[in-house]
Amino acid sequence: MTLLDGKKTSEAILQEIAHEVQAIKANGGKVPHLAAVLVGNDGGSVTYVNNKVLACDRIGFGSSLIRYEDTVTEQELLQKIQELNEDDNVDGFIVQLPLPKHINAEKVIESIDPRKDVDGFHPTNVGRMVAGLNAYLPATPAGILQLLQRYDIQTSGKHCVVIGRSNIVGSPMSILMSKAAYPGNATVTLCHRNTNNLAYHTRQADIIISAVGIPGLVTADMVKDGAVVIDVGTTRVQDASRKSGYRLRGDVDFDAVAPKCSFITPVPGGVGPLTIAMLMQNTLRAAKKEVYG
């Protein structure tokens, strides 16, 4: 069993990007700039966005963090997005999800200029991805592809079972794994909350990618010997022994499942760190005008 070390892989990617930023600076080019919009004080979201800004600092990107109370109106938010769309210094920006209920997240996402949509959430980027055109890929699925690639994991002709159909992970992951590309070329089954007999499907899987946020959902009896298991779940569960009062748990019952696997991601330190690296990669591509010219 090999652990898929997301931290190490992410560090390697961030190093590559940092070198490229140095070269851009040396040549007098535009230093990539990422802006992040954060609404409210959700613990997970605050941590994610802070880590994104810290990553920018580390690799030499410019960054701006724009924070609002969760009482912000949709109108105010749309106004800010308009400003960011028009700001030539901002190459890409994200609006951290989830948003408060009184704000229409779809409307917010659709108001982002697709050329600056480094999350890859705008329908234009989603459509381009589905059609196999150059697009910003959403960070978590793109990070998983990087892990598969950098550990030289074979995917062609394999049976990949994705659990979860979110717009952010499950749905794009299922599409990317089915593409005639590497990593990809897999036969894909997409399971979700209405799937009958989930274990029947996962037992056939050469590759399991779980992104549902149910701690311990994937148990040892659901996994075939030699499977590759990718765990996207990061649910905060109470843990009085930690200073923070919580720890992160994945969708996979790691201790029981790991011995059966050829490769498996830990939680934390698996997929999580890759998402930041891929957001940085998208921002670099935005600054270089690689996707839309």
CB of 154 to ligand GUN, least distance (A): 27
* Beta strands 263-264 and 246-249, pairing class: unpaired
For residue 102, the minimal CB distance to ligand GUN (Å) is: 18
Residue 52 is among the residues annotated as catalytic for this protein: yes
User: Encoding tokens for residue 259?
Assistant: 């011995």
Number of Cβ within a 10 Å radius of residue 112: 24
CA distance 229 to 203: 12
Query: Is there a contact between 184 and 159 (Cβ–Cβ < 8 Å)?
Result: no
Cα–Cα distances in angstroms (integers) from residue 228 to residues 202, 231, 253, in the given order: 11, 10, 14
Are the C-beta atoms of 138 and 282 separated by less than 8 Å? no
Indicate which residue of 5, 91, 119, 251 is catalytic: 119
Cα(266)–Cα(147) distance, rounded to whole angstroms? 12
Q: CB-wise, 97 or 220, nearer to ligand GUN?
A: 97
Work out how close the CB of 205 gets to ligand GUN at its nearest, in angstroms, rounded to a whole number: 24
Nearer CB in complex with ligand GUN: 96/202: 96
Catalytic residue list contains 107: no
Element housing 67 (H / E): strand 62-68
Residue 70 a catalytic site member: no
The residue number whose beta carbon is nearest to ligand GUN equals 97
Instruction: Give the whole-angstrom CA distance, residue 125 versus residue 135.
Output: 5
Which residues contact ligand GUN by CB under 6 A? 94-97, 119, 139, 168, 275
Q: Give 119 or 251: the residue with its C-beta nearer to ligand GUN.
A: 119
Nearer to ligand GUN, 20 or 119 (CB): 119
Structure tokens at 145: 């592809």
Structure tokens at 279: 């957001």
Alpha helix segments (H runs only) across the chain: 6-26, 43-59, 74-86, 105-111, 123-130, 139-150, 170-178, 198-202, 254-257, 271-287
The nearer residue to ligand GUN, 271 or 287, going by C-beta atoms, is 271
Is there a contact between 278 and 149 (Cβ–Cβ < 8 Å)? no
CB nearer to ligand GUN: pick between 126 and 168:
168
Q: How far is the CB of 49 from ligand GUN (least distance, A)?
A: 8
CB 92, min distance to ligand GUN, A = 11
Catalytic member of 52, 80, 116, 158: 52
* Helix runs in 165-293, H state only: 170-178, 198-202, 254-257, 271-287
Active-site residue, selected from the candidate residues 80, 91, 96, 146: 96
Least distance in Å: CB of 59 to ligand GUN?
A: 18
**Residues forming the active site:** 52, 96, 119
